[in-house]
Amino acid sequence: MHLRHNMNNSDNKETKHKRRIRYKGTHPKSYNEKYKELHPDKYSETVAKVIQKGSTPAGMHRSICVNEILEFLQIKPGQTGLDATLGYGGHTLEMLKCLDSKGHLYALDVDPIELPLTRERLLSQGFGPEILSIRQMNFSDIDIISLESGPLNFILADLGVSSMQIDNPDRGFSFKTEGPLDLRLNPQKGISAAERLKTMSQEEMEGMFIENSDEPNAEVIAQAIVSAIRQGREISSTTSLRQVITDALNSIPQKTSKEEIKKSCQRCFQALRIDVNSELDVLYEFLEKLPDVLAPGGRVAILSFHSGEDRLVKKSFKHFFREGIYSEIAPTPIRPSGEECNTNSRARSAKLRWAIKA
């Protein structure tokens, strides 16, 4: 009798209903605590408040330069186009509206985690396979997609990492939160950032930080990371890499400010992400193939977020313009408006360039 009583108590403990983590304040810090932001369909008021404050709700992405992009692309019903970087689908949605159920839009993304969510989101808004074809593939393979689509009237490539990737600590994109040091856009392919660091010499690492993010303290940081790994220190999390960078910069005789260390962390994570995903190589291949997939008079807009990307785009556009392949290119990059930058801090580094096929 006593034994049965104890067993019943045990069962009750196991099946006891667990209350949801309380939503702390108007903008909780922990990603998992932001369940209202992660379900915008149920908590639209909370999401609106977060956006009003100039922040991006967890699990969402706010598209940048939407009006400027649409104004240039001049999308007309019946045309065929490509969103080379689907992401959260914000740009895609606006381009679909311009097609007005006539024509077709193709959309590409390598992320196997976010792509199905975006597909469902767009399908729920009435955009199915009759108007939208979504493929999990790299945008460097536009020549393959063009075999199916035919010549494209308009193409958009937003080279920025989506906010929902940055904000999710499980993806390891941000130095601000604890997570695995991964940084892969497709975690099913290649090696993680943690593994990549183990394979690099100090010279290679220093070159990566300079080329991919113009990091001024590249030599000191590379030396510290290589030294830590040789000493058997495990750099497998976002915070462990951040700590190595912080310690390295604090050891510089001239005192380094917290803001400077933060910027260096940001640049180093960016450089490592670009390296792990071969982003500049992929972009170069994409730019080389662009003229062959665009229809005569076809338009391409590319949104970049750091100098390395922008240099490649600018150089490619100028080259094909001189060759007479592009009839017109952007004389200078278009920047987001001051109003957009004030309401979305992630827009500040964006540059938009465009070209028109002859």
Residues 43 and 101 placed together within one structural domain of the fold: no
Domain extent for 193: 187-276
| Average pLDDT of span 35-43 | 52
Q: Of 276, 308, 329, which residue constitutes the final position of a domain?
A: 276
Instruction: Kindly indicate the confidence band of residue 324, based on its pLDDT and cuts at 50, 70 and 90.
Output: very high
Average pLDDT over the chain, rounded to whole?
Answer: 85
CATH number, position 319: 3.40.50.150
Q: Would you state the pLDDT for residue 54?
A: 46
The region of weakest confidence among 8-22, 96-110, 136-150, 185-199 is 8-22
Q: Would you state the pLDDT for residue 29?
A: 58
Distance CA 15, CA 136 (A): 40
Q: Would you state the pLDDT for residue 60?
A: 59
Residues 121 and 192 placed together within one structural domain of the fold: no
Number of domains in the chain: 3
Residues 268 and 285 placed together within one structural domain of the fold: no
Q: Would you state the pLDDT for residue 340?
A: 85
Higher pLDDT, 94 or 252: 94
In a domain, 26, yes or no: yes
Q: Would you state the pLDDT for residue 149?
A: 95
Distance CA 330, CA 247 (A): 43
Its pTM stands at 0.81
Instruction: Kindly indicate the confidence band of residue 13, based on its pLDDT and cuts at 50, 70 and 90.
Output: very low
Q: Of 253, 276, 299, which residue constitutes the final position of a domain?
A: 276
Residues 294 and 155 placed together within one structural domain of the fold: yes
In a domain, 174, yes or no: no
Share of the chain above pLDDT 70, in %: 83
For the stretch 243-268, pLDDT in tens is 999 999 988 777 678 888 999 999 99
Residues 124 and 269 placed together within one structural domain of the fold: no
In a domain, 133, yes or no: yes
| Average pLDDT of span 134-153 | 96
Instruction: Kindly indicate the confidence band of residue 9, based on its pLDDT and cuts at 50, 70 and 90.
Output: very low
Three-class HEC string of the chain: CHHHHHHHHHHHHHHCCCCCCCCCCCCCCCCCCCCCCCCCCCCHHHHHHHHHCCCCCCCCCCCCCHHHHHHHHCCCCCCEEEECCCCCCHHHHHHHHHHCCCCEEEEEECCCCCHHHHHHHHHHCCCCCCCEEEEECCHHHHHHHHHHHCCEEEEEEECCCCHHHHHCHHHCCCCCCCCECCCCCCCCCCCCHHHHHHHCCHHHHHHHHHHHHCCCCHHHHHHHHHHHHHCCCCCCEHHHHHHHHHHHHHCCCCCCCHHHHHHHHHHHHHHHHHHHCCHHHHHHHHHHHHHHHEEEEEEEEEEECCHHHHHHHHHHHHHHHHCCCEEEECCCCECCCHHHHHHCHHHCCCEEEEEEEC
In a domain, 246, yes or no: yes
Distance CA 228, CA 72 (A): 49
For the stretch 167-178, pLDDT in tens is 788 888 888 888
Calculated CA dihedral for residues 286, 292, 297, 299, nearest 10 degrees:
-10
For the stretch 194-213, pLDDT in tens is 999 999 999 999 999 999 99
| Average pLDDT of span 102-116 | 94
Share of the chain above pLDDT 90, in %: 67
Residues 154 and 202 placed together within one structural domain of the fold: no
Is pLDDT at 289 greater than 90 in this prediction?
yes
